[in-house]
Structure 1
Amino acid sequence: MTTRKDLTERNDRALLQAARDVLAEDGAHASVAAIATRAGVGIGSLYRRYKTKEELFQQLSLLSLDHWNEAAEQGLADSDPWAGLAVFIRGCVEFGQGSLAPVAGTIEVTREMSAKARRGDELLDELVRRAHRAGVLRGEVTSVDISLLIEQLGRSPLVDQLRKQGRDDLLPAAAEARRRLIAIALDGLRPGHDPLPGSPPGGELFTDRWSQQ
């Protein structure tokens, strides 16, 4: 028997997926109506639960942070430092982690969001430390590098375009191509490559974006 809680969780998952898709197409100007339509959720029921667009995006951000943390914990549970890091990165990329970035700076960051984000930073730092200690991650790669890589790979312009065109016939090939690119990127994290250019990116690239001006 489907409970009200089950229905709410199912709707939230659908809304998160829809928000990622619509934000990929429309950016920060994505409308609540477009997200609700994509998710198959009535706009009336949506506004009964979330009074504002900001409240909706805050909830979706929490769900996204939860996924990040769960993926990191799954990675740390793997005794192999490289396999654990790779599992985390693949899980976040395939989930579309970072796709809510367009709303950065447009919504208030709640205490709960901040707490979950700090926990996520701690978990990723430990994944990176383990990999460095084991010598399986190139020494100059930082946690911020990993976070930015996930954000870059979390969106696929090719897949987004094909979905918008309704080219379902090409989506399997596009998904396979994307998996190849993820594998290429992961290989680039291994030791034995030319030094990376410039200085390591700072955490402000994330935190400052989410500060409202």
Structure 2
Amino acid sequence: MSTRRDRAERNDRALLQAARDVLAEDGAHASVAAIAARAGVGIGSLYRRYKTKEELFQRLSLMSLDQWNEAAERGLADPDPWAGLAGFVRGCAEFGQGSLAPVAGTIEVTAEMSAKATRGDGLLGELVRRAHEAGVLRADVTAVDISLLIEQLGRSPVVDQLRKQGRDDLLPAAAGARRRLIAMALDGLRPGHGPLPGPPPGMELFTGRWANRA
């Protein structure tokens, strides 16, 4: 019984990772067949675990929200406001936050997803407030700016392309280049730079995208 349960858990983890990878490469048109093939399982196994592709993407969204909230909690636990914020941004970007953006508006946002997202907004708001009060974050940067920055940094075309090509020889170098870009972006959040252009973005950039328009 334990072996069967362990195998099912391994298959589920493989499916979720495969779904993330295929989404990063193919966007909202990612097919169930491609996800199952990437995970090394049959389509029947996928549908036994998730009745629909939407259900799979909802599970993936919950996993992503949990990671976001856990990273924010770790950041708030750091007594250094800058280290806490920077660690949050770095952790979310390296996890690949933003890879689910292609499914925005194509799946129903469940009550659980909404509750976790609301909690994440509050945690990030506190990280930003604390960094502003400490004078370590430029005054014109908002929580929405941080969220959009993470979405940009969480998707690496060069990493995705090399992974799709099976170029394991180049993946470490690509990951290192990505870490450098994250460090450059984090440096841009520090005070001492010129003003940012235009008004700060609003939350409608997120809430509007996730409204199901089917």
**TM > 0.5 fold call:** yes
5+ residue gaps, structure 1: none
Aligned to 1:127: 127
Equivalent positions of 1:5-154 (< 5 A) are: 6-154=6-154
The alignment-based identity, stated in percent, is 85
**1:140-180 deviation digits (Å, cap 9, x = unpaired):** 10110000000001011111111222222211111111110
1:164 aligns with 2:135: no
The whole-number CA distance in structure 2 between the counterparts of 1:196 and 1:4 is 55
Aligned to 2:175: 175
Contact kept, 8 Å, 2:92 with 2:150, in 1: the verdict is yes
Aligned to 1:195: 195
SS of corresponding position for 1:105: coil
The whole-number CA distance in structure 2 between the counterparts of 1:182 and 1:206 is 22
Q: Which stretch of the first structure deviates more once superposed, 144-153 or 45-54?
A: 45-54
**1:9-68 deviation digits (Å, cap 9, x = unpaired):** 443332232122111211100011211221223321211121111111111111111111
**Change in 2 beyond 3 A, CA 1:34/1:119:** same
5+ residue gaps, structure 2: none
**Change in 2 beyond 3 A, CA 1:122/1:31:** same
Letter in 2 for 1:167: R
Letter in 1 for 2:178: R
The whole-number CA distance in structure 2 between the counterparts of 1:195 and 1:160 is 33
**Change in 2 beyond 3 A, CA 1:6/1:143:** farther
**1:70-101 deviation digits (Å, cap 9, x = unpaired):** 11111111110000011111110010011011
**Change in 2 beyond 3 A, CA 1:151/1:2:** farther
SS of corresponding position for 1:163: helix
SS of corresponding position for 2:144: helix
Letter in 1 for 2:66: D
SS of corresponding position for 2:202: coil
The whole-number CA distance in structure 1 between the counterparts of 2:134 and 2:45 is 51
TM-score (norm 1): 0.95
Letter in 1 for 2:145: D
Structure 1 ranges of 4+ moved more than 4 A: 1-9
1:212 aligns with 2:212: yes
* Aligned residues between the structures: 213
